[in-house]
Amino acid sequence: MLTDTIIAKRTSGRVTCALVPQPQWAKSRILADQAVESLGLRALGDGWLEVSESDALRIAAGVLGRDLATNAVIVPAAEADALVSDLLAMVPEPFTCFTNGDWADVFGEESQHTNGFSFDPLTESALDAGIVCVGDGVTAVLWVEDED
């Protein structure tokens, strides 16, 4: 299964990756909270930052491919991009994506490191980041925890 492959590829930190079925309709932020809570992560409610699909792809590939503390490569960029694209292809469009900080800036082409960055944690780890993409009936969660 793709989610197991993604978890296995990132050999450091803790990775949570799942497609969470959600048969009932609710607002996207509520469904995002329900999905992460079902996986043992903390809900953010109004703390979720909505991001575009392109930013969600950049964030997800960044957290999958690089250590959040050291920026060391864990999964080559092309492979991380492909895995994340395959994951998001499993979420019915249109979908709404959320994250917990300005990670799109961190993983943008101009950025070199995460120093001085703030985020709203979902875990007790020193650093955690990822995406939650809410579609019709299913929510994709890719979340990574690293220690500095």
**Could you tell me the CA-to-CA distances from 116 to 68, 83, 109 in Å, in that order?**
13, 29, 17
What does pLDDT average to in each consecutive run of 10 residues of the chain (148 residues)? 96 96 90 97 96 95 93 95 97 95 78 64 94 96 93
- Parallel, antiparallel, or unpaired: how do β-strands 138-146 and 127-134 relate? antiparallel
At how many degrees (to 10) do helices 53-65 and 77-88 cross? 130
DSSP 32-82: HHHHHHHTTPPP-GGGPEEE-HHHHHHHHHHHHHB-TTT--BSS-HHHHHH
Q: Can you give the pLDDT at residue 114?
A: 46
Q: Can you give the pLDDT at residue 109?
A: 64
Closest CA to 52 of 5, 103, 121: 103
133 contacts 97 by C-beta, under 8 angstroms: yes
Q: Can you give the pLDDT at residue 47?
A: 95
DSSP state of 86: H
79 contacts 6 by C-beta, under 8 angstroms: no
* The token pair that represents 65 in the structure block: 């491919």
The one-letter amino acid code at 61 reads A
pTM, entire model? 0.93
- Report domain extents, the chain: 2-146
Q: Mapping DSSP to helix (H, G, I), strand (E, B) and coil, where does residue 5 land?
A: helix
81 contacts 137 by C-beta, under 8 angstroms: no
φ, ψ at 108 (rounded to 5°): -70, 170
